[in-house]
Amino acid sequence: MKCFIVLLFSAILLSLSLSCSSATTSEKNNKGVVETQKPTLLKKDPTEKKSDLPLSAETAIPFLKEYGEKHPENKVRIETPLGSFDILLYKTTPYHRANFIYLTKQRYFDNTYFHRVVPGFIIQGGNSDNADTGQKRRKIGKYLLPPDTRKGYKHHRGVISMPSSEIENPHKLASPYEFFVVCQSPGAYHLDGSYTVFGEVIRGMEVVDAINALPTDKREWPITNMRMHVTILTN
């Protein structure tokens, strides 16, 4: 009888042990499933357009042609510490207009300066000695704009024109990041044929004259920095 009880008790312990082992194995297996589950990979959208930036000598003109057709805006406001003035951009100089609108929407001009002032002649803007300006230029691209001087526009007082690149080039290709406003009266006509007039001041010429009257250092940089903020006008 004692042997029977011992055997029965041993059988019960063995059964309980197997049951616990099975539960532990099941729990481990469940944890293993969770830990080894692979995340779902997102497939790349095949319709996603590759960025147009940075622009280059080969891509800038086709890009600006398409951009100009989609973005017809032609008025901007330039704000400075001395006040603001408005500019009308000519639609008959399409690449220069589109370029200026594009750079404005990219906020390139913000925190650049009127960095060159020649009393009684011009004020020139679109550059700075800040690191972020160089970073913006690298992001947008390295390109030049062809001159567009056959539209009959002259360098009258108040027009906006584009300087040629600092790089020596016989075709007067223009630096797309800078511009100048003529302050000379009645105009700076010796510039005709060499630089592209692509707009004119339609409000605030007194602000332009105030900037032109600022004292400068030997580099023709105003002693008082003239930061600008450029926005597009919708009417």
Q: Where are the chain's structural domains?
A: 60-232
pLDDT of residue 165: 66
pLDDT of residue 168: 61
Nearest to 188 by CA among 92, 91, 97, 123: 123
d(CA 139, CA 97): 20
pLDDT tens for the 235 residues of the chain, in order: 444 444 444 544 444 444 444 444 444 444 333 333 333 333 433 433 456 789 999 999 999 999 999 999 999 999 999 999 999 999 999 999 999 999 999 999 999 999 999 999 999 999 998 999 999 999 999 999 998 988 989 999 999 999 986 666 667 788 899 999 999 999 999 999 989 999 999 999 999 999 999 999 999 999 999 999 999 999 7
* H helix or E strand, kind and range, residue 140: helix 131-140
d(CA 85, CA 76): 9
Helix (H, G, I), strand (E, B) or coil at 64: helix
Cis upstream peptide for 176 (omega within 30°):
no
d(CA 111, CA 127): 9
Superfamily designation of domain 60-232: Cyclophilin-like (2.40.100.10)
d(CA 165, CA 125): 14
pLDDT of residue 173: 86
**How distant is the alpha carbon of residue 5 from its chain centre?**
89
Nearest to 92 by CA among 230, 197, 189, 194: 197
d(CA 180, CA 121): 10
**Rounded alpha-carbon distances, angstroms, from residue 5 to 10, 14, 18, 19:** 9, 14, 20, 21
Nearest to 161 by CA among 171, 175, 143: 175
